[in-house]
Amino acid sequence: MKNLPVIIIISALLMSISCKEKESERFRLLTTPVWQTDSLIANGIDASGPGGFLEKFKGEAKFREDGTGYFGKFTGTWSFNIDETKLTITTDSLPLPITCDILELTSLSLKIKTAVINPANISELINIRMTFKAK
């Protein structure tokens, strides 16, 4: 009976260690490399050039394990949805978070798509597709 509190504590520790959520494969695939933009397309047109709608996303992107990162010229936070099929990027530089469907996520390639409100005409959406290669 004297050992009962010790046994309870050890059992609780073992349960917490065994129940600790491990990093998923998709989490590891996203956070391991630095990503380099490959294509930035808005409504079917390259939007990465000077004055382009996605110009500020051009360059490198890093999704850090702590949920922070940089995405071209933006810094902010990122998160997966519950089944890791969507990626949400939040930054103070944009009025709303951007939630993207993950089309492909491998050790070499990241492809995402989303639609955002056109700031020039709020009744229209701009369809965006971004592709990245591991650097």
User: For residue range 11-49, what is the model confidence (pLDDT) as tens digits?
Assistant: 444 444 444 456 899 999 999 999 999 999 999 999 999
Q: What is the DSSP letter of 22?
A: P
Q: Is the pTM of this model over 0.85?
A: no
- The pLDDT tens digits of the residues spanning 56-90 come to 999 999 999 999 999 999 999 999 999 999 999 99
Average pLDDT over residues 105-119: 96
Residue 64 tokens, joined:
């850090």
**CA dist 27 → 13, 23, 30, 32, 78 (Å):** 26, 6, 5, 8, 11
- CATH assignment, 23-134: 2.40.128.540
Per-domain residue ranges for the chain?
Answer: 23-134
